[in-house]
């Protein structure tokens, strides 16, 4: 069961069922007129079915159940209970819409099942902020906070073709390989099933024509929840694992793994709260992928740039964790991504790629920077 080839077969099973499901879902969506309608904020210009999350859930479920027969997995019933809660919350949002508060409540309930019933909680900080192991109540509160951030981050980056699914494939595959190596086949099963289902969705989402589909909130919330579960297990098992494949500075490494979704949600929330003075949940076009599109990139090009960037941070965090403690590595990661973001914003400002009166896009820069740049443009 610990053979990597076995889990590749599991990924193929999840891939196959997702591939089979999507054309059927598209057919029903078109018959019942269940579409993602274009508007002034969204990037799609035609109506596209947005129930791809159903196919991801089908592929994931069948990959896990068919591939997992024969070994115990105590946590599985609670993990799938959590996924079912978030699945139906996302499905309702895709069909009739729900308020941000209702969606947040569903996320919190889903995380509660994971933290309180499956006992998957963030209780080891590896020296972050001077803390190592924390007590039950602080660990529960931290788990809720981190869970809400991760789930929302995947929900928010699902704005262009292939982005959320490609990042999920990347993270789930790395988690899966590590779980195989250290002997946690049940979590490798979850990881590779998710990767296989997301790969099938990616193909239809990016290259589909008659069967093009979006994952909707059903898919993005589902992916975010499962990535959160895998991240918590990754964090906690390293605290008790004593083998040669132990990873140090785990909290910082996890930030490196999820650097794009985490940083993007942070910068967008800060921009909405402090610059535009709006609700952090009010949608706009201030994500990094919107910036790349403003530079003239296609959806696939923007996704590729972000995908490669995330790989670099993943590889870098795995290399540097051998030499830096958790605070040092966190500082390096945030410093690097902040520098990259600032340079991108300045380039867009200097090239005047965002109109001054655009109500959906605002630069994430200090006003002094913007004034200096405008003076430069005026005198150049």
The pTM of this model reads 0.91
Is the pLDDT score of 2 beyond 70?
Answer: no
Q: Which residues contact 227 (CB under 8 A, 6 or more apart)?
A: 150, 154, 168, 171, 172, 194, 258
DSSP 124: B
How far apart (Å, rounded) are the C-alpha atoms in residues 316 and 2?
27
Residue 327 or residue 376, greater confidence = 327
- If you compute the radius of gyration of the chain from its CA atoms, what whole number of angstroms results? 21
Are 297 and 98 within 8 A, CB to CB? no
Per domain, the residue ranges of the chain are: 1-242, 248-380
Average pLDDT over residues 317-338: 94
Q: Give the model confidence (pLDDT) of 8-33 as tens digits.
A: 999 999 999 999 999 999 999 989 88
Q: Which residues contact 285 (CB under 8 A, 6 or more apart)?
A: 41, 358, 360, 361
**Would you place residue 294 in the very low, low, confident or very high pLDDT band (cuts 50, 70, 90)?**
confident
326-350 helix and 299-320 helix, angle to the nearest 10 degrees: 150
pLDDT computed for residue 279 by the predictor: 78
Average pLDDT over residues 73-83: 92
CB-based contacts of 341-346 (< 8 A; 24+ apart in sequence): 341/263, 341/267, 341/288, 344/288, 344/291, 345/291, 346/373
Average pLDDT over residues 41-57: 81
Nearest to residue 285, comparing CAs of 108, 41, 29, 91?
41
Q: Give the model confidence (pLDDT) of 187-215 as tens digits.
A: 999 999 999 999 999 999 999 888 999 99
Are 58 and 17 within 8 A, CB to CB? yes
Half-sphere exposure in the Cβ direction for 52 (13 Å, CA) = 30
Nearest to residue 61, comparing CAs of 106, 13, 1?
13
Least confident of 53-57, 154-158, 345-349, 357-361: 357-361
> Which residue's entry shows tokens 């909405």?
272
Is the pLDDT score of 374 beyond 70?
Answer: no
Per residue, the 3-state secondary structure of 39-94, as one string, reads CCCCCCCCCEECCHHHHHHHHHHHHHHHHCCCCCCCCHHHHHHHHHHHHHHHHHHH
pLDDT computed for residue 198 by the predictor: 98
pLDDT computed for residue 64 by the predictor: 94
Are 219 and 202 within 8 A, CB to CB? no
Nearest to residue 196, comparing CAs of 206, 185, 208, 188?
188
pLDDT computed for residue 208 by the predictor: 86
**Would you place residue 42 in the very low, low, confident or very high pLDDT band (cuts 50, 70, 90)?**
low
Token representation of residue 50: 């947005």
Neighbours of 206 (CB within 10 A): 17
DSSP 130: G
Is the pLDDT score of 1 beyond 50?
Answer: no
pLDDT over 70 percentage in the chain? 89
Q: Which residues contact 19 (CB under 8 A, 6 or more apart)?
A: 200, 203, 204
Is the pLDDT score of 272 beyond 90?
Answer: no
How far apart (Å, rounded) are the C-alpha atoms in residues 306 and 318?
18
Is the pLDDT score of 307 beyond 60?
Answer: yes
pLDDT computed for residue 130 by the predictor: 81
Is the pLDDT score of 242 beyond 80?
Answer: no
Are 209 and 199 within 8 A, CB to CB? no
Q: For residues 311, 316, 321 and 324, what is the CA-based torsion angle, rounded to 10 degrees?
A: -150
Is the pLDDT score of 354 beyond 80?
Answer: no
Residue 355 or residue 230, greater confidence = 230
């Amino acid at each position: 069961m610990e053979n990597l080839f076995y889990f590749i077969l599991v990924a193929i099973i999840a891939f196959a069922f997702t591939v089979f499901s999507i054309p059927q879902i598209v057919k029903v969506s078109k018959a019942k007129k269940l579409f993602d309608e274009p508007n002034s904020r969204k990037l799609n210009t035609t109506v596209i079915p947005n129930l791809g999350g159903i196919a991801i859930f089908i592929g994931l479920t069948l990959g896990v159940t068919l591939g997992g027969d024969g070994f115990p997995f105590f946590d599985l019933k609670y993990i799938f209970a959590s996924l079912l809660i978030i699945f139906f919350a996302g499905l309702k949002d895709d069909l009739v819409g729900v308020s941000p508060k209702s969606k947040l409540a569903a996320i919190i309930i889903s995380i509660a099942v994971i933290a309180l019933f499956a006992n998957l909680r963030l209780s080891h900080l590896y020296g972050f902020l001077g803390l190592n192991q924390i007590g039950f109540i602080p660990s529960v509160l931290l788990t809720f906070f981190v869970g809400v951030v991760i789930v929302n981050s995947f929900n928010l980056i699902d704005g262009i073709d292939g982005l959320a699914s490609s990042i999920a494939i990347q993270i789930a595959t790395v988690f899966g390989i590590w779980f195989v190596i250290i002997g946690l086949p049940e979590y490798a099963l979850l990881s590779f099933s998710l990767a296989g289902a997301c790969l099938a969705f990616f193909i239809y989402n990016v290259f589909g024509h008659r069967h093009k589909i979006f994952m909707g909130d059903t898919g993005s919330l589902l992916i975010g929840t499962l990535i959160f579960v895998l991240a918590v297990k990754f964090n906690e098992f390293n605290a008790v694992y004593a083998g040669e494949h132990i990873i140090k500075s785990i909290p910082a490494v996890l930030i490196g793994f999820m650097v794009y979704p985490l940083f993007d949600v942070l910068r967008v929330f800060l921009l909405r709260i402090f610059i535009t003075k709006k609700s952090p949940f009010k949608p706009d076009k201030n994500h990094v992928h919107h910036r790349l599109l403003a530079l003239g990139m296609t959806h696939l090009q923007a996704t590729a740039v972000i995908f490669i960037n995330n790989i670099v941070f993943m590889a870098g965090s795995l290399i540097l964790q051998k030499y830096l403690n958790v605070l040092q590595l966190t500082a390096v990661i945030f410093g690097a991504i902040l520098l990259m973001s600032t340079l991108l914003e300045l380039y867009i400002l200097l090239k005047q790629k965002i109109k001054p009166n655009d109500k959906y896009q605002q630069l994430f820069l200090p006003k002094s920077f913007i004034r200096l740049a405008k003076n430069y443009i005026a005198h150049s």
